[in-house]
Amino acid sequence: MFAPAAFAAEGDAGAAAASSSGLGKMGGAIGAGLAVIGCGLGIGRVGGSATEAMARQPEAAGQINTAMIVTAAMIEGATLFAVVVGLLAAL
């Protein structure tokens, strides 16, 4: 907890900067990973619900399928944005 202050007191600013840089990279990687996990769960739920809806109303399968694909594309777009932001934070 007091390690960055101890490094600064010793005059070794390079070690303190390296420590905070490593935490930033780890945070960006964790954020990107959580975005991908959320995307997988979201698309799985959309696909499962669409399949269930098509089983209930086979005559509306075309409309349900179209809505499912559009929704999955929106989830993928938001996830791509989140992953890019997370990876940029890691740089």
| Angle (nearest 5°) at CA 6 between 5 and 7 | 90
Q: Is the pTM of this model over 0.75?
A: no
Residue 46 · residue 75 · CB < 8 Å: yes
For the chain, the average pLDDT equals: 85
Query: Which amino acid, 65?
Result: N
pLDDT, tens digit, 9 for 90 and up, residues 28-60? 889 999 999 999 999 999 999 999 999 999 999
61: pLDDT strictly greater than 90:
yes
Cα separation, 3 vs 61, whole angstroms: 60
Cα separation, 63 vs 57, whole angstroms: 11
Cα separation, 8 vs 17, whole angstroms: 10
Ordered by start, the domain boundaries in the chain are 24-90
The CATH-assigned architecture of domain 24-90 is Up-down Bundle (1.20)
For 4, other C-beta atoms within 10 Å of its C-beta total 14
